[in-house]
Amino acid sequence: MSFKSTPLIMVIGLFVVIAVVGGTLLSSDDEAAISVKSTSPILSEIVVKQTSYPLAPEAINALVNRGDDGLVEDTERQAVPLLLPSSLLGAVLPLTLDVNELGELVINKKIQHLFDFYLSAMGEESLDIIVLRIKHSLTSQLTDPALTQSMDIFSGYLQYLNEVTVIKQQFEQGADPENSGEYTLDKVIEVRDMVLDARTNYLDDDVIAAFFGQADEYEDYMLSLAKINKDTGLNSAEKQVAKAALDTTAPEWLLTQQHNANQLNEYRDQYQALEAQGASQRELQDLTQQSFSPEVADRLAALEVKREQWQVKLAEYREELAVIKDNAGDESSDSEQQQLDIAQLREAYFSPQEIKRVSALDAIDRAR
């Protein structure tokens, strides 16, 4: 199995950092501060004492287990807004959870998707409101015993994310400031082991398998590959033999996925080379048809059209954004009026999900 671009150890480091970033759902002091106005006195006391994230475990238990009135129509009394935050508007809602003939919850990925859907709005909404949303979703579609099962899993999942926040902080504190973008293989393995231990502390084995099974298989394979590449006792030929042996034990889905990725990378290289040579649109279409099945070729063609439309839309947005900034004159670049104008411009051009992407691109441009 071949891999392109960055050194493998950097790829492995990125995977673990991505896993650790899951903990940031509970780690922003500025954006994710818990609102205690609508909580019980006990929860308020716990949260007030909690000066920084991660939260105390008892604070999470209080959030999940406290009683609430759910979502109510009376806007003066409602515990949580009926309208979803802007980042979730227009998004596909989580699928209905599955229950077996005994009324028990079927443990699968849908449960994690439901949790993550609402947790992704951290920063726009406080954690206590997000917890209410998730609890309302669970109570509106489940009855016992499935409801109790789902609440237990939800509580454990929050505790797991909270502990991952601790791991993230420890990882960042131990990082070399001179080489913050690189991580040794031993450190990557150490951090991953800590994350795996955190799961077992709060989640049952069947939940872990459903939520993380495929990702764990991928990371296991990648770490094994990294160890082979790092082994100075093997020459190039021996490493190739070891990699071939590793492939014989890899999950079939992973090998298929990587084969497809390699095929796509080769296609992109050929496509870009033809473009650079001034190939016609017909020649580019012929390459696509020759490289893939008709169904895949059609999907790639549709994606290419969307990509071109996106680039046109982004270019037009950039032009109007420049006008807004030029018209600001001596005003601060983050003035309230300018930010309002930029927000309205984004809403005019992009969907809520696209706005997230554009905001990130704009932030990168500012950093540059």
Note down pLDDT in tens along the chain; length 368 residues: 444 433 343 333 434 434 433 444 554 443 333 333 333 333 333 333 343 567 777 777 777 877 644 444 433 334 556 778 877 877 778 888 999 999 999 999 999 999 999 998 887 888 888 898 999 999 999 999 999 999 999 999 999 998 888 888 887 776 665 655 456 788 888 888 999 999 999 999 999 999 998 889 888 888 888 899 888 899 999 999 998 898 888 888 888 888 888 888 888 888 888 888 888 888 888 888 888 888 878 887 788 888 888 889 999 999 998 888 887 665 555 677 888 888 888 888 888 878 888 888 887 877 76
Q: Quote the pLDDT of residue 47.
A: 38
What's the distance, CA 103 to chain centroid? 31
Give the C-alpha separation, 257 to 260, whole Å: 5
Look up residue 250 and give its two tokens. Answer: 């890899």
- Which residues, including other chains, have CB under 8 Å from residue 314's CB and lie 6 or more apart? 358, 361
- Which residues, including other chains, have CB under 8 Å from residue 359's CB and lie 6 or more apart? 346
CB atoms under 10 Å from CB of 180, counted, come to 9
CB atoms under 10 Å from CB of 195, counted, come to 21
Q: Which of 111, 134, 341 is nearest to 211 (CA)?
A: 111
Give the C-alpha separation, 55 to 42, whole Å: 15
Q: Quote the pLDDT of residue 175.
A: 63
Q: Which of 318, 330, 323 is nearest to 365 (CA)?
A: 318
Query: pTM of the entire structure?
Result: 0.62
Q: Quote the pLDDT of residue 333.
A: 54
Q: Quote the pLDDT of residue 209.
A: 93
